[in-house]
Every structure is written in C-alpha cells, then in structure tokens.
A = this chain, B = another copy of it.
Amino acid sequence: MAKINKKELIINAAIKVFADKGFYNANVADVAKEAGVADGTIYLYFKNKDDLLISLFETKMEEILLRFSSLLDSNQSAEEKLRQFIHLYFQMIEEDQNLAEVFQVELRQSSKFLKDYHNQKFIDFLNLIGDILHQGQSDGQFKTDISIHTMKLIIFGALDELARQWILTEDPQENLKQTADQTSNILIRSLLV
C-alpha cells in the first residue's frame, strides 16, 4: 500500500473546498470530509484554520516559483521570457482552476487579515517579472523610461484580472492560449524600444 502524505492530502482537499465555498464559508469539517480524515487530524498537521490557508499558499507557491524560475535560467531574450511567463501563467490557471480561485480570492483577504502573515512568496513571484524587465532593459531590448516597479504590477494585474474573468465566467470555450498570445503582444508592444 502506498504511503500517503497526509499533509498534502489535506492541503489539496482544502484547495477544493476553499475554492468552492470560500475560506470563511468553508468549515474545517468540510475540508476533513473532503480529505477523508477526521476533523482532529487536520490539527495534527496545521495549527489552526488560518494556518491551513497559509500553509496551503506557501506550499503551492513554492511549486509555482520553482516552475517559473526555470524560465529565467535559460538564455532566451527578455521578450521571449515574458511571452513564456505569460503562457505559463495562463496554463497553470487552466490546469488547476481551484488553486487559481483560492489564490485569486482568498489570498487577497488573507494578506490583509491574517495576523502576522507577510506574503514573501508573492513578492518573490512579482520579482520574477521584475527580473525579466531588468534583463530587457539591460539588453537594450526594452525601453528604459519605464519604472520596473510600476510595470511589473501592470503586467501582473493584467494577467490576474484576465484569469479572474476566465475563472468566474467559467467559460471553458474561451481560449486561454489565444488570450495569452494577445496579452503578450499588447504588453510587449509597450515595452519594446
């Protein structure tokens, strides 16, 4: 019998339940049921309900950061990297809609209302975009009259909003790949020298 990692099991259940009902409307019992464990078991792995959300985020964000990081290690141009970044972003949204929903909605809450939670991983993620912009400016590919700080927020905000609409309208017909292409074109158009 395969050994199950229960912490991961619970986190994945939580993603599903939180995506479905929202963090505040979901009960710990809901998560336990979804995970197929007893209520109390959750408290063997997480300090409390808040900690479950934070752990969920930290764990998944690490995976995500790892996946995106490989993009920056390559020898490609900044433009190419940005296109790939955008593609990967939408691809991941498509792959795990539940996780996307939790990140979209719950983390915005949590970053404000969970005590003592400084969201370093999210900052790291934004900086991945910043690094690409940096490279582009250094290479002379991107305009230098643009604040990297402002631009990385614009890019992330754009992607995030497009993702939200796709998730909320639940329109699987809509082609996320085309959206990615078009978004890439628009954003890069304003960056290139």
Contacts and interface: CB of A to CB of B under 8 A. Distances in A.
Interface string A143-162: 00011001101111111111
Q: Number of contact residues on A: which range applies?
A: 35 or more
A53 to B, nearest CB: 13
Contact of A159 (B146, B157, B159, B164): B157
Q: Is the interface of A mostly helix, strand, loop or mixed?
A: helix
B190 A112 contact: no
Contacts of A190: 186-187, 189-190
Given A157-B160, A157-B161, A161-B160, A112 B22 contact: yes
B161 A113 contact: no
A157 B162 contact: yes
A104 interface: yes
A113 B146 contact: no
B182 A147 contact: yes
Given A186-B154, A190-B186, A190-B190, A22 B161 contact: no
Nearest to A188: B190
Chain B CB within 10 Å — which of A21, A159, A161, A162 has the most? A161
Contacts of A159: 157
8 contacts: A24-B24, A105-B108, A147-B182, A155-B158, A157-B158, A157-B162, A158-B158, A186-B190
